[in-house]
Amino acid sequence: MDKARLNALYELWLEKATADPDLTQELVKIRGNDNEILERFYRELEFGTGGIRGVLGAGLNRMNYYTVNKATQGLANYLKRIKPEGARVAVGYDSRIKSDYFSKSAAAVLAANGIKVFMYDELKPTPMVSFAIRELGCDSGINVTASHNPSKFNGYKAYGPDGCQLSLEASDEVIKEIKKLDIFDDVKFGDFAQSLSDGMIEYISKDVEEAYFKAVKSQAIHPDIYAKSGFKVVYTPLNGAGNKPVRKVLSEMGITNIVVVPEQELPDGNFPTCPYPNPEFREALEVGLALCEKENADLLLATDPDCDRVGIAARNKDGGYELFSGNEVGVMLLEYVIKERLALGTMPDEPIAIKSIVSTTLTDAICKKYGVELIDVLTGFKFIGEQIGLLEKQGETERCIFAYEESYGYLAGSYVRDKDAVVASMLICEMAAFYHSRGLSLIEARAEMYAEYGVYYNKIDNFAFEGAAGMQKMQEIMKDLRTVYPKEVSGAKARVLSDFLKGTKLDLSNSSETPINLPKSDMVIVDYEGNATVIVRPSGTEPKIKIYYTTVGKTFDDAKKLYAEYSNVFSKMMKIDN
């Protein structure tokens, strides 16, 4: 986009974007700064597969009152087209900066379009929005959140009537509607207070909330073990939406010895003690770990700002605390659920587990041992939700015993169609209490698992590509990778190349191709001798490329050493400037 066009957009926003004073202040501040204007206006913030996400601020390429409302108007136009007799939408939000403001403005746009809105009266976990959609018979849902991103981000997730994030087909239709709109002239900006008074916006009742909590607690396998465990838990909601719901469920299940990290207890979108509020990373857990040591706690639980992911750390024999990866928690919960349901005789016929394709292949070994069917899906929990929906159509939702993705998202049951850190926190505490009652720590239980199946080391490397130039570089890397992937690493030859954009799996030993029966996606998987796997894909929500490694060894050190060798080779392909 040329400079004249950029400046014209800038001046237009300076004239018309007056609803939020913060935007006017920002625009005035960057006057004459070509680079800052470029970053805000070189493209529109895209409505991706299920929603939008971006840095807060003024401009087309930022999360703000106007970009949120334009996206919402597009969603409204789509809903009016498929449900002309009147659509219903559930709306929620988390603790991020302007989340409540954006949720109310989106609700007002929907109401102005004649769409009935059911809205939570305070911040709630993402899965509670998914639940409300189905419980209230809604046609869609919106949750204003940027999940675990740094504080400068916000976004929202859009849902379908099944409680899953919008399907690829529905997202495409919404995108078409959005592209027809002028951001200032074609949006029906509404008045929240008036719509609430008129009944077009209605707060979700406490009965719906209690129905959700009842559904969560029904997933307990040994509900009596919590109170007997004597377990001590430190919990941090990372200044997000999990504080009340997680504590409520744990308390009602009998885990009363809970200490909450005071600095991270209350909602705060600035995340002052953890600038990157992602429970995958130790930096976000440091304050909680320090409190664990002070309280001599058995377990640390940490949920992300919208409470759909949970990370943990467990005390070891030396009194220190070890973090568990999302893969480790996923496979341990899966095996715990399988073993205990078999022992209690509550396992359904032909049980199914579901995982994202980038999650550890240790899952395959566990499912094979116990005769559980395993379904792999593309990255994104909506694909897991879609599989549960297919089972529902057949009247067989009980067959799905557990689902997870390596990025710390887990689900037991079919009451929601998104990952749920509330039920995951409950089951993690149950599993820990169960092993505790048998004289095992979670760390010892993990060691027993690896002793049986081998050590599967899973690691993700992230490579950020900021700005317009970064987006182009990402595309070039993914294109090149399909032909110049490493043919051999540490003596192990590449065996299979799976190109999910092309939709084919190439056997490198004989050059034969077979189709991949999954939706097309910009992802490449290279399988190597020795059961090592490397998966490369652009993030669907952030300007970065992710590389997922699985290496297998007899010991942790062996598997980790192999990862380092693969990482060294693939990192060189990312063309990061030093």
* 145-163 mean pLDDT: 95
Range with lowest mean pLDDT among 3-7, 396-400, 541-545, 548-552: 541-545
For residue 576, pLDDT beyond 60 = no
Task: Write down the pLDDT at residue 577.
Answer: 46
Q: At 455, is the pLDDT very low, low, confident or very high (cuts 50, 70, 90)?
A: very high
Task: Write down the pLDDT at residue 309.
Answer: 97
Q: Does residue 305 sit in helix, strand or coil?
A: coil
- Which are the contacts of 68, defined by CB distance < 8 A and separation ≥ 6? 52, 102, 105, 106, 144, 156
- Angle subtended by helix axes 206-217 and 126-135, to nearest 10: 110
**Under 8 Å between Cβ of 234 and 291:** yes
Task: Write down the pLDDT at residue 540.
Answer: 67
Q: What is the pLDDT of residues 3-45, one digit of tens each?
A: 999 999 999 999 999 999 999 999 999 999 999 999 999 999 9
* 486-508 mean pLDDT: 94
- Convert 544-566 to b/e letters by CB count within 10 Å (16 or more is b): ebbbbbbbbbeeeeebeebbebb
Q: What is the pLDDT of residues 404-448, one digit of tens each?
A: 999 999 999 999 999 999 999 999 999 999 999 999 999 999 999
* 477-503 mean pLDDT: 93
Range with lowest mean pLDDT among 93-102, 209-218, 398-407, 472-481: 472-481
d(CA 415, CA 117): 21
d(CA 363, CA 373): 11
Q: Edge-to-edge, what's the strand order for the sheet holding 88-93?
A: 51-55, 153-159, 140-144, 88-93, 116-119, 201-203
**Under 8 Å between Cβ of 245 and 128:** yes
Mean pLDDT, the chain, integer: 95
d(CA 107, CA 111): 6
Task: Write down the pLDDT at residue 168.
Answer: 87
For residue 354, pLDDT beyond 50 = yes
Q: At 470, is the pLDDT very low, low, confident or very high (cuts 50, 70, 90)?
A: confident
CA proximity to 535, closest of 325, 330, 356: 356
Percent of the chain with pLDDT over 70: 99
* 458-476 mean pLDDT: 87
* 284-288 mean pLDDT: 97
For residue 575, pLDDT beyond 90 = no
Task: Write down the pLDDT at residue 539.
Answer: 81
Residue 119 Cα distances to 79, 91, 128, 136, 209, angstroms: 17, 5, 11, 11, 12
From 99, 147, 151, 229, active-site residue: 147
Q: At 578, is the pLDDT very low, low, confident or very high (cuts 50, 70, 90)?
A: very low
CA proximity to 531, closest of 472, 453, 471, 470: 453
**Under 8 Å between Cβ of 102 and 68:** yes
Catalytic status, residue 171: no
**Under 8 Å between Cβ of 416 and 130:** yes
Q: What is the pLDDT of residues 168-223, one digit of tens each?
A: 899 999 999 999 999 999 999 999 999 999 999 999 999 999 999 999 999 999 99
For residue 1, pLDDT beyond 80 = no
Q: What is the pLDDT of residues 225-258, one digit of tens each?
A: 988 888 899 999 999 999 999 999 999 999 989 9
Q: At 467, is the pLDDT very low, low, confident or very high (cuts 50, 70, 90)?
A: confident
> At which residue do the structure tokens 């050590």 appear?
455
Q: Does residue 460 sit in helix, strand or coil?
A: strand
